[in-house]
Amino acid sequence: MTDKTVKVSIRNLYKIFGEDPAAALAEVKSGTSKPELLDRTNHVLGLNDINVDMNEGEITVIMGLSGSGKSTLIRHLNRLIEPTAGEVLVNDEDILSWKDTRLRQLRRETMSMVFQKFALLPHRTVLENAAMPLATRGVAQEARAAEARKWLERVGLSGQDDQYPHQLSGGMQQRVGIARALASNSDIMLMDEAFSALDPLIRTDMQDLLLELQSELHKTIIFITHDLDEALKLADHLVILKDGAVVQQGEPQAILLNPTDPYIEEFVADINRARVLRVRSIMTPAVPAGEIAGEVAPGDNLESVIARAGGDVAQTFRVVRDGKTLGYLGMPDIMRALVPRRSSGASAA
């Protein structure tokens, strides 16, 4: 049983680029691969039978290498791209059946988008850019300025109202983009490689800002990235694509601990597992026989627990949240978790 509500659902979604996608679709369904389809028919398989549920109030991260189909997928959610086959459900309604009026309403009120290249209007001030979603709805100037100013302050740009985009750093420009998305008051935020153009330190700051805002606002966020560290940091639900198809999806910690495909195994091989894995993912309910060395929180990473143990492999910790014991974690459990596991699809040595 789960009390989570599915906000966006993608069902059996295909996208094929070419002159006769319907004929190419029949080949794909019969088992033709992406390279074979291109070689034989000169059609490009963009998406191959995608099925993903995105829960309300969570961050769903869709990741993959260049050409995996992640940006193509996110553009189906607001119908900037039309699919070859399948369904895209928002609040249980198939938006593929919607006409222009409802689509405009979807893009103006239900979904906002944050772009990689910021997409700010150079001739508009910071305040005017942040207020753009409200201007398109006909909101009075004073009211939209007040709302935009509120969100600019919230993302750390108080006092920058009259600046123009060229006067801002890349990180500040992206903060304007986030303020603009928040000013629209939409339930769903689409973020396509939103932080990829930023320097590493600024990128980390933006990730932290997003998580801070999300802890307050509980938006439904669909975030596209090619960076696994970023995906593991942000995702409540992680979807990994390869050649237009979903290779594995689920809770990020579970994917890291239990890859189901050699591709995923290779993908996560170089991750600093001690820094990424959390206590909650490997704790056990069994009460240990020995002495408890101390208490840790379920969200602590394994690196911090190792540091607390000071190299003593015999120590065990109680996992506690709000004064309640959730489980226990021993150093042997940590050592086992730090060894990458072979996927079920990997060949035996």
Q: Do 123 and 233 fall into the same domain? A: yes
What's the CA gap between 80 and 61, in Å, rounded?
Answer: 19
Q: Which two tokens stand for residue 105?
A: 């309403």
Q: Is 175 domain-assigned?
A: yes
230 with 105, same domain? Answer: yes
What pLDDT shows up at residue 347?
45
Q: Which of 245, 189, 196, 248 is nearest to 222 (CA)?
A: 189
pLDDT at 252: 92
pLDDT at 2: 54
Query: Going by C-beta distance under 8 Å and a sequence separation of 6 or more, which residues neighbour residue 20?
Result: 41, 43
96 CB-near residues (< 8 Å, 6+ apart):
79, 82, 83, 86, 87, 88
Residue 345: is its pLDDT beyond 70?
Answer: no
Report the pLDDT value the prediction gives residue 1, as an integer from 0 to 100. Answer: 40
List the one residue out of 183, 186, 173 whose CA is nearest residue 144: 183
Q: Are 184 and 305 contained in the same domain?
A: no
User: Token pair of 53, please?
Assistant: 């549920």
Q: Which residue has the higher pLDDT, 60 or 287?
A: 60
**Confidence (pLDDT) at 348:** 40
The rounded distance, in Å, linking the Cα atoms of 240 and 228 is 10
Domain encompassing residue 285: 277-337
Q: What is the pLDDT of residues 159-183, one digit of tens each?
A: 889 999 999 988 888 889 899 999 9
Does the pLDDT value for residue 233 go beyond 60? yes
For the chain, the average pLDDT equals 90
The CATH number of the domain holding residue 284 is 3.10.580.10
φ/ψ of residue 3, rounded to 5: -100, 10
Within a domain: 102: yes
Residue type, 105: Q
pLDDT score, position 296:
94
Pinpoint the alpha helices (H) of the chain.
21-29, 34-41, 70-74, 100-105, 126-130, 132-136, 141-154, 170-183, 200-217, 228-234, 252-257, 262-267, 273-276, 279-282, 302-309, 331-337
198 and 326 fall within a common domain: no
Please report whether residue 345 resides in a domain: no
Spatial separation of the C-alpha atoms in residues 252 and 259, rounded to whole Å = 10
Q: Which of 232, 250, 268 is the last residue of a domain?
A: 250
Q: Which of 16, 10, 80 minimizes the C-alpha distance to 249?
A: 10
In a domain? residue 24: no
Higher pLDDT, 144 or 343: 144
Q: Are residues 242 and 323 in the same domain?
A: no
Name the amino acid, one letter, at 10: I
Count CB atoms within 10 A of the CB of residue 46.
27
DSSP 110: I
The answer to whether residue 265 scores a pLDDT higher than 60 is: yes
pLDDT at 343: 60
Q: Is residue 281 included in any domain, yes or no? A: yes
The answer to whether residues 245 and 296 belong to one domain is no
Q: What are phi and psi of 326, to 5 degrees?
A: -100, -25
Q: Beta strand 59-63 with 220-225: parallel, antiparallel or unpaired? A: parallel
Express the helix, strand and coil content of the chain in percent, nearest 5 each.
40, 25, 35
Q: Do 242 and 113 share a domain, yes or no?
A: yes
What residues contact residue 38 under an 8 Å CB cut-off, 6+ apart? 44, 45
Query: Given this model, what pLDDT does residue 342 score?
Result: 66
Q: How many domains is the chain partitioned into structurally?
A: 2
Dihedral over Cα of 158, 163, 169, 172: its sign: positive
Tell me what the mean pLDDT of segment 78-83 comes to: 94
SS3 162: coil
Q: What is the mean pLDDT of residues 236-264?
A: 93
* 130 and 234 inside one domain: yes
- Is residue 23 domain-resident? no
What is the pLDDT averaged over residues 292-321?
A: 91
Statement to judge: residues 107 and 157 lie in one domain: yes
DSSP-assigned letters across all residues of 187-213: SEEEEESTTTTS-HHHHHHHHHHHHHH
